Structure 1
Amino acid sequence: MKRNTDFMLREIAGEVVLVPTGQATQNFNGMITLNEVAAFIWKNLDEAGSKEKLVSMILDEFEVEEEIARRDVEGFVGALKEHGMVEES
């Protein structure tokens, strides 16, 4: 799994957001505001390559229970796939 390069992570007015560019602007209208964990997931999607690795990386980075980390990864990556922001590698 890898990020769709038509979406860029930006900081705007103190908020971290995903902004569509290029072809993505035809199908996605708006921006998505990310919390700290969601921004971490986005930044590490390409390197991790799998949900399991993302969970492991979150557990290393944040003080959170594995069940919560797993739920966050499943939910956020699922939403990203639904909107075409993540592509299967």
Structure 2
Amino acid sequence: MARIEAVNQILYVYRQGFGGNPSGQNEDIVAAILGGNEKRTALLPRDCPAIQDGKLVDEWGTPYWFHSVTAKVMEIRSAGPDRELFTNDDVFVQ
């Protein structure tokens, strides 16, 4: 649960600096928070252990699912221990 909260905080900082959520799929969001944005500002180091194969992953190594609800609200979902999205053990924040 701590990791998903940390991702949520990083996206909060991103919104504060850029006025909205990064867009796209997991890998696009990672690129934006690693400095692939108009200000070239990196919010995480490239060797962050939560990034695997260019995607942010949960504690079980499964990529997070991101859904931009509004420009200022992002749903972040972890598939949980069963590693399947949209089942009862999912962990999510907005």
- Specify if TM > 0.5: no
User: Of the two structures, which has the highest relative contact order with CA contacts closer than 8 Å and spacing of 6 or more?
Assistant: 1
Range of TM-score over shorter length: 0.3 to 0.5
TM-score by length of 1: 0.35
